[in-house]
Structure 1
């Protein structure tokens, strides 16, 4: 006797039993009951639909499809349409149940068959994408293969589930933003969403993550361009889009949008940042010096107005932008007293804001500990191991990343426990970043929440926290302002920030003049020889040849490789004077900037100084740092920039044994090359005036014996010079940390 009969009581019992098997996942028994039902009632089509579903839930996909087709064989066209609708309704209900209550993989399987039956059901496709992402079975190409983008671009028919579309919209941005089809999907989805949701609130943070963490600037730019089409006056979109353009996507657009920002903002702090953004665009492009001068003067005027006002509370984002707004003064002028005064006053104002914000934050997060710079109670005995923390967004393929690695490598792990705070989620797949993760004893990859980073540093019981970013990264500044460690130090990045909560700035006998303490808020801690040392650099295979650049083999080749920020016209003019006075000389110019504007900049200067333009060569970027170093071998002499010298570029030049001409100034940025040359034992090429800069440039270009002697001495210096002895340098840094700690604990006793 079969379980199924046509009696109403038996049918109710049948349905109860099937439902029980279905809910408990015993699909084979449920399938058996439906087989019996088909045998008893072959004309009831729903039995076929349910039997096929039970087979599908057992992963018997071919059998399920065959069962559904069998149920439709005897139908006319209208009947088949009706039956198909019934089948789809049953599958949809089961998919919803499996998705919410049971098994998303089975829900994905069911929706895949719904797609085969009705490939234009957009809501089902959206659910299928959502499930595919949740089970890690979605690659992005399905957006094209399934026709999702085409369906979104067609006039809307039926009821589009906008909530589901929004969900998938977020997930695509989060999980598959760099797929080529993802941008097309986002663009096609926007018309359906922008009137119903705050899509800019979704696009903006996603673009920042894609641009800054994934380093996909072009994709991030495209997303913000879509956001700008929705609201062309949205200041946050304008700010970030201008910044992305300035990373080399389109310098002119970056400048244009920065100008637009400035025209739209109302408050003084907003004007300061908008003007800074404009300055950044102009200096990144290079060659806009007249405009830069007026912009710098405007920035100084705006900052003076802000400093003169009584402080009033500002939003955290506004304060964060103020932190970096004095960044460009050292590139423009070598006036450290004036520049430091502005930075000290500005950062003191920002510190006031952070203290105010911290008080508000502590009302919400009472567990937050760092408070008003008060040190945690410590024993006045030197601990067995000092907890040293390094915080930076640059522990990756970056100048800071290349230089700090030697200190990390040589640290004495018996005396120091090394912690690394890698800010703003460094890029996946960055080899140098992975090296730091492996080499640092306690690495922490962190986001951009300054409160959480500061709390983590406090919980890690850090004794000395070293800031490697200075004002190049607002998040790092914010963390340092919260004083999560009893001793805080700035080293390497840019210059001292001026944050009141930082105790020391690492220098050496040369990189700052003796009078510098008069205008630095931080106590200057001078190491015995050099504030930086490395064991060397990786060198690749060169890709430049003189014959390919149409340069005679016996020519004198000068080289300058710096970003647009450092191309001061006064120094570039001196470089042209050198080229003019050295017969058969050529000038190779390389660096990140707008190709057209930087070429126009140098060509105009060459014409003014009477230098033939065909003696200039403009080089494209190289594929890697190692290749760049190898290509330095094409140069006879490297000409440094002023008032902002090279730093990593100077180290690379000296490591490759190439004579360097540098102009020494008063500020930190104007003395980097000076200290490096002193610490490698070469003084030829160190100029204290503009006239000496030209004289050294001409002499090194015309005296081959002197060049050979310098190159020989630079080669020998690899074995003897402090600049190339990172192990000795590390011991000196460790001695400094120990003395800082001893000074601190004596103050507690």
Structure 2
């Protein structure tokens, strides 16, 4: 191409050069720039672009010579900036088209020209993270950036800086250089709160999805140093401490949050955190009772105040503010009344924050109601949960996914999970068994529109109030019928239509205090085909327990410890000679030993007969380890659920006390549906009597074990296929009621 009239044809040939660049015809583009230089030798941009074309051909030396020649007789600072602009533009384009290798190479040349160009250094880090090429070189580069920050922070592209911080937290949170970089950014940037508010979302993911609460606590401590009164950071930090077994710090931080609370709603949230901190530790019985009573008073006061101007974050946190009531008090009528009012209050405040989404969802549901078809050949069933993984809920609900009839039910899964990685367990049990599988981050609210787009007929919440975000999502009704099943007791949300139960897990009077309609399945509200069992890593000899001893086993995390019930268990140990109690579950080990030692002394039990067990490496090994026990002693007033199922599957006798609330009747319904009545107690005295009798009567234990083994072929508890048919029939009847207008 000949440039006979450079000024007239300038736009044309430059467009042609850019076209050659995009087509990767660098030789043709270079030829155009060479001709331009001949005609307009004083236009420096021609040299910058010619050098870029040479660089893209791999002629690095020639590129550098071209740039240096143009810079040699100019105001270097001015024209260097022009050159860098050309290179940065191309580097950015390469990133956008995911040509990371070329983008990285261009950034390296920018670095040679201007070693302290901090935005370019950020781009290098970003590209190395995108290509998963975090090496020792990256660590050295981060350390260099940390040294530059004090004098270059004002030159930073803040959006780029924030992007790099988040990418580092996502990809390499365990690297010490990443922590040092994060700390330096907070120290030197003039508005650290912007970084904190964005970064804490990822720090929460580190704690929850990457299961590193201790590491998350380090980052949160950094944030708190810069913003010592930031209630969001303090709240999460207390959770991180509790979940990483730094119990004392968890309690202290929760109390600090309460001291900063100024509104009644904040006090309710803060006191809930104190309750959780005490309960997680597992040895603060008096403090738990006192703080829980205080929580009831605060909650009732908030309900009476009935505020309608709560911000979104506060509304969401309040959902599970009375979560721990059933762990201490088997008073379902009172507990549900408070929970339902709190849920109503949260829902009415949340809807106001979604004043565009909520009316739109309502309009769509009205339209669907008008077009509802009675005799639908297939129903769209949606399951929403953060537990579609290796989690108690995941282990149990997987069978329903396996046995659903795809000709009559299209299964849509909505997995609340921020991590980019998905477990093989999730793939095998949920992705492969779903008609559609969607994954949504905790702060991705596009889920409502997706549920509507999928035309879900019945949306089933598997989390209830175990996750405040699930409550938030279920508050805005996005399916004609919304149901709670499995994950916990009723949430009391006005937007929930049904709660799945069975003939045993709730007493007949329960409908009097449930806001949802209780839908009782004919036999059991849960069934499984069994559990995977591995090789045990726990032996009596390793615990210094005689081979002829009677071993009682108790699995209870700190927040399931109820002092009055623990005293019953110790009475059983006292009454059965040569017996031992194994205690398993996360809690503060040292203070737990002091707690149990004090109770043992009161009950006249030698403390040396108690053993505290560490967690098992896997769920399958945990189940195998249950075989060490002769009898499993259930918790109260919050029974075991998955633990009870696993115990019965391992054919081990269980002693349970039946209460009035859902949580106090799980083991009861499971034992009844396994064909076992031995070990079911209705009073404290019966609980002790069954525990002692089973400890002393080896023949009875053998008979129960044999019955459990035989039940695997006959009992409803182990027939997940029939259970699925019962659930499907329930769905069809729910839909029929809906289209009939009932």
TM exceeds 0.5? yes
Conserved 8 A contact 1:481-1:501 = yes
Give the Cα separation in 2 of the matches to 1:130 and 1:101.
14
Alignment of 1:184-223 (within 5 A): 184-195=180-191, 198-223=194-219
**Displacement after TM superposition at 1:366 (Å):** 6.2
Give the Cα separation in 2 of the matches to 1:156 and 1:503.
57
Give the Cα separation in 1 of the matches to 2:34 and 2:474.
72
Cα distance change of structure 1 residues 168 and 422 upon mapping to structure 2, 3 Å threshold: closer
Alignment of 1:273-422 (within 5 A): 273-358=269-354, 360-361=355-356, 367-369=360-362, 376-379=369-372, 381-422=374-415
Give the Cα separation in 2 of the matches to 1:501 and 1:147.
52
Cα distance change of structure 1 residues 126 and 612 upon mapping to structure 2, 3 Å threshold: same
Structure 2 unaligned blocks of 5 or more: 39-43
- Partner in structure 1 of residue 167 of structure 2: 172
- Partner in structure 2 of residue 75 of structure 1: none
Alignment of 1:459-608 (within 5 A): 459-608=453-602
Q: Secondary structure at the match of 2:637?
A: coil
Structure 1 unaligned blocks of 5 or more: 40-44, 73-78
- Partner in structure 1 of residue 668 of structure 2: 674
Matched residues, number? 728
TM-score calculated relative to the size of structure 1: 0.88
Alignment of 1:594-743 (within 5 A): 594-743=588-737
Q: Secondary structure at the match of 2:91?
A: helix
Give the Cα separation in 1 of the matches to 2:6 and 2:352.
72
Give the Cα separation in 1 of the matches to 2:374 and 2:443.
34
Cα distance change of structure 1 residues 503 and 18 upon mapping to structure 2, 3 Å threshold: closer
Structure 1 stretch 604-613 or stretch 143-152: which is displaced more?
Answer: 143-152
Alpha-carbon deviations, 1:256-300, whole Å to 9, x = none? Answer: 111111111111111111111111111111111110011110011
Conserved 8 A contact 1:540-1:627 = yes
TM-score calculated relative to the size of structure 2: 0.88
- Partner in structure 1 of residue 41 of structure 2: none
Conserved 8 A contact 1:18-1:30 = no
Give the Cα separation in 1 of the matches to 2:300 and 2:542.
52
Cα distance change of structure 1 residues 113 and 586 upon mapping to structure 2, 3 Å threshold: same
Give the Cα separation in 2 of the matches to 1:342 and 1:155.
52
Cα distance change of structure 1 residues 33 and 747 upon mapping to structure 2, 3 Å threshold: closer
Structure 1 stretch 415-424 or stretch 224-233: which is displaced more?
Answer: 415-424
Alpha-carbon deviations, 1:135-177, whole Å to 9, x = none? Answer: x335333664543324423684568622256245445346524
**Displacement after TM superposition at 1:37 (Å):** 13
Cα distance change of structure 1 residues 52 and 370 upon mapping to structure 2, 3 Å threshold: closer
Q: Secondary structure at the match of 2:157?
A: helix
- Partner in structure 2 of residue 163 of structure 1: 157
Give the Cα separation in 2 of the matches to 1:69 and 1:273.
62
**Displacement after TM superposition at 1:642 (Å):** 0.4
Give the Cα separation in 2 of the matches to 1:238 and 1:143.
35
**Displacement after TM superposition at 1:219 (Å):** 3.5
Structure 1 stretch 589-598 or stretch 18-27: which is displaced more?
Answer: 18-27
Cα distance change of structure 1 residues 222 and 169 upon mapping to structure 2, 3 Å threshold: farther
Match of 1:269 among 265, 269, 273: 265
Cα distance change of structure 1 residues 471 and 609 upon mapping to structure 2, 3 Å threshold: same
Alpha-carbon deviations, 1:482-522, whole Å to 9, x = none? Answer: 22222222111211111222222211111111222222222
Give the Cα separation in 2 of the matches to 1:633 and 1:55.
72
Structure 1 stretch 205-214 or stretch 46-55: which is displaced more?
Answer: 46-55
Cα distance change of structure 1 residues 103 and 669 upon mapping to structure 2, 3 Å threshold: closer
Alignment of 1:435-450 (within 5 A): 435-448=429-442
Q: Secondary structure at the match of 1:376?
A: helix
**Displacement after TM superposition at 1:112 (Å):** 1.2
Structure 1 stretch 373-382 or stretch 246-255: which is displaced more?
Answer: 373-382
Match of 1:240 among 231, 236, 252: 236
Give the Cα separation in 2 of the matches to 1:50 and 1:444.
45
**Displacement after TM superposition at 1:466 (Å):** 1.6
Give the Cα separation in 2 of the matches to 1:427 and 1:289.
40
**Displacement after TM superposition at 1:611 (Å):** 1.8
Alignment of 1:249-264 (within 5 A): 249-264=245-260
Give the Cα separation in 2 of the matches to 1:629 and 1:108.
50
